[in-house]
């Protein structure tokens, strides 16, 4: 019974993420770029980027504003980028 429930939950989650990607193709592209940046960066590069915290550019500000204005898009974005970013930060010792 628990295997069936697990499979159903996994299928539902994948369907939700797939639907969110289809609904927000630009957000999906931006999220993929952010994920690739974290995956391609070394821990040292991430430490340096954190230390040099820069103001977001005009394009980033526009994307941030879109996420503030659309809670569903924000939820889809966070659901996509959070796991790989958190895992990288954990591997680098940036979060306990």
- Sorted by where each begins, the domain ranges of the chain are 2-91
In terms of C-beta distances under 8 Å and separation of at least 24 residues, what long-range contacts does 67-76 make, across chains too?
A: 67/27, 72/20, 72/23, 73/24, 73/27, 75/20, 76/17, 76/20, 76/21, 76/23, 76/24, 76/27
Structure confidence by residue, pLDDT tens digits, 35-89: 999 999 999 999 998 899 888 888 888 888 999 999 999 999 999 999 999 999 9
pTM over 0.75: no
Q: Between residues 65 and 4, which one has the greater pLDDT? A: 65
């Amino acid at each position: 019974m628990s295997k069936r429930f697990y499979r159903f939950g996994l299928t539902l989650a994948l369907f939700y993420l797939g639907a969110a990607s289809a609904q927000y193709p630009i957000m999906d592209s931006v999220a993929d770029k952010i994920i690739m940046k974290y995956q391609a960066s070394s821990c040292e590069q991430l430490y340096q980027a954190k230390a040099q915290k820069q103001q977001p550019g005009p394009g980033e500000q526009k994307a941030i504003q879109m996420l503030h204005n659309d809670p569903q898009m924000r939820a889809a974005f966070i659901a996509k980028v959070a796991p790989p970013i958190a895992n990288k930060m954990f591997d680098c010792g940036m979060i306990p």
